[in-house]
Amino acid sequence: MNIIENISTIKNKIHNAEIKSNRPENSVKLMAVSKFHTVEEIKKAIDAGQILFGENRVQEACQKFEELYKYNPNIELHIIGNLQLNKVKKAVKIASCIQSVDRLELIEEIEKQCEKINKNINIFFEIHTAEDSKSGYTSEEDLFESLDLISKGKFPHIKTKGLMTMAPFTNDENLIRKSFVTLKNIQQNAKLKFPNLDLEELSMGMSGDFEIAIEEGSTLVRVGTAIFGERNYNK
Ligand SMILES: *Cc1c(COP(=O)(O)O)cnc(C)c1O
């Protein structure tokens, strides 16, 4: 795998997708999803100028990123995987953003742990838009309950950034697109209802579907396999 070449190829594809969909240049950020890949591989991506990384599992993220922050203090890490309450303390220490916020009790725990270490953190709300994903808010009502409490200032260490979703794993482009359109619609509704919250970002699109996601308004694509190659889950 030539990680440096892969990043350059993906950046070109992002650029072309921006042009194709009349989006401003550089309006889409690239996250390198480095789960299951080694510190050495991630360093190659950093050497290629990559700053933003995503990890699913807190334990793994801590093991790798304590060293990687020393390698380059400017890198940024987002947690993008399902988060258990007992992992929140470590998650808020190692990451600048939790993208997989999917329930109120998680927000309460994030606030509690951030208050303890006096740190502000960014969050995305993960939305369940496709059947084969397990995680995410499943109703707009639950999402709006969380947004309402945040907009009233109940969680001063938490700063909202936007919404996140995973499209279904399918070759059916219409189904994938539908999932992205759903996220965009929920974003529009949420922005109207909570104009004082920052909900501008749409984190959607992975290796197989990021160009479609950009056409549908993605501002941040999360790409793993197309940068680092297949993951070895048996390691
Ligand atoms: C693993 C993962 C990705 C990256 O998937 P690829 O298909 O390897 O690009 C993106 N988002 C989330 C939430 C993931 O868990």
Q: What's the mean pLDDT when you consider all of the chain?
A: 96
What's residue 7's pLDDT? Answer: 98
Cα–Cα distance, 75 to 64 (Å, whole number): 13
80 touches ligand 1 (CB under 6 Å): yes
Q: How confident is the model at residue 235 (pLDDT cuts 50, 70, 90)?
A: low
Cα–Cα distance, 124 to 218 (Å, whole number): 13
Is a pLDDT exceeding 80 seen at residue 163?
yes
> Exposed, middle or buried by CB within 10 Å (0-12, 13-18, 19+), for 136?
buried
166 touches ligand 1 (CB under 6 Å): yes
Q: What is the pLDDT of residues 200-212, one digit of tens each?
A: 999 999 999 999 9
Q: Which atom of ligand 1 is nearest to the CA of 225?
A: 8
- Write phi, then psi, for 137 (nearest 5 degrees): -60, 135
Q: Which atom of ligand 1 is nearest to the CA of 164?
A: 13
Query: Which of 93-107, 130-144, 154-168 shows the lowest per-residue confidence on average (mean pLDDT)?
Result: 130-144
HEC profile of 154-175: CCCCEEEEEEECCCCCCCCHHH
Residue type, 230: E
81 touches ligand 1 (CB under 6 Å): yes
Is a pLDDT exceeding 80 seen at residue 57?
yes
Is a pLDDT exceeding 80 seen at residue 33?
yes
For residue 76, what is the DSSP state?
E
Q: What is the mean pLDDT of residues 149-169?
A: 97
213 touches ligand 1 (CB under 6 Å): no
Distance 154 CA to ligand 1 centre (A): 31
Distance 109 CA to ligand 1 centre (A): 25
Q: What is the mean pLDDT of residues 176-187?
A: 98
Q: What is the pLDDT of residues 90-131, one digit of tens each?
A: 999 999 999 999 999 999 999 999 999 999 999 999 999 998
Ligand 1 pocket test, candidate residues 50, 52, 222, 232, most atoms within 8 A of CB: 222
Give the distance from CA 146 to its chain's centroid.
18
Q: What is the mean pLDDT of residues 54-58?
A: 98
Percent of all residues in the chain with a pLDDT value above 70, rounded to a whole number: 100
Beta-strand (E) ranges in the chain? 29-33, 52-55, 76-79, 97-101, 121-126, 158-164, 201-203, 220-223
What's residue 212's pLDDT? Answer: 97
Is a pLDDT exceeding 90 seen at residue 134?
no
Distance 222 CA to ligand 1 centre (A): 6
Q: How confident is the model at residue 23 (pLDDT cuts 50, 70, 90)?
A: very high
